[in-house]
Amino acid sequence: MQEMIFRGTDTTALLTEWTMAELVLNPDAQKKAQAELDAVVGRERSVKDSDIPNLPYVQAVVKEALRMHPPGPLLSWARLSTEDVNMGDGMCVPAGTTAMVNMWSITHDPSIWESPQEFRPERFVVSEGGEDVDVRGNDLRLAPFGAGRRVCPGKALGLATVNLWVAKLLHHFQWLPHAEHPVDLSEVLKLSCEMAHPLRCVPIIRVPAFTS
């Protein structure tokens, strides 16, 4: 029960917070996502689940946040070596060692990702020269939910939830930095990778306001 509650709420909330933090720091990306929302959804209603497949840039924003700030940086693919294992690069993994996948290191590796420290959602938009990377475990360059038989069972629900939350937050409000509490992307690893200093920002209602 603890695992279901923790993995079903903590990581989803953290990913939303990381995504919004990056959008506050990158106003051009925020405006681009809002322009897509206005073109696809319009200004007469709010975003629905059925709109998300038609919002590739919004989805790319969430993917980029997952790449830069995977909520679970050390995947739970822990394996115990039962004997010494000699790697191709001369490294030896001694018997009795617990090995884990460091997804954070993979997603920040410049040999895998161009300019990995830059927030660039366009890298996931095909129409802009990017690549449609599947984050659900089919591409190990970005597999924040794990892969294989032990992949996160809530990956689809988690992605759908964050995509919808982010879309609604962007559609209804413009998000500005807080004058006294600037966005700090420092990380702290607890049960998940959290913001060391929780996000504080200023929402401005976008005009015209929704009627429903």
Task: Write out pLDDT tens, residues 53-71.
Answer: 999 999 999 999 999 999 8
Count the domains in the chain.
1
Which has the minimum average pLDDT: 34-38, 124-128, 142-146? 142-146
Alpha helices (H) along the chain: 2-5, 11-25, 27-40, 56-68, 103-107, 155-172
The pTM score is: 0.88
Q: Is the pLDDT of residue 211 over 60?
A: no
- Residues 173-207 have pLDDT tens digits of 999 999 999 999 999 988 788 999 999 999 999 97
Residue 113 lies in a domain: yes
Range of the domain at 28: 2-205
- Residues 73-115 have pLDDT tens digits of 887 667 889 999 998 888 899 999 998 889 999 999 999 999 9
Do 199 and 59 contact (CB within 8 A), yes or no? no
Residue type, 99: A
The chain-wide mean pLDDT, for the chain, equals 90
Phi-psi region of 28 (alpha: psi -120 to 50; beta: other; left: phi over 0): alpha
The CATH number of residue 98's host domain is 1.10.630.10
Confidence band (pLDDT; 50, 70, 90) for 123? very high
Give the pLDDT confidence score for residue 157 in this predicted structure. 86
Do 176 and 204 contact (CB within 8 A), yes or no? yes
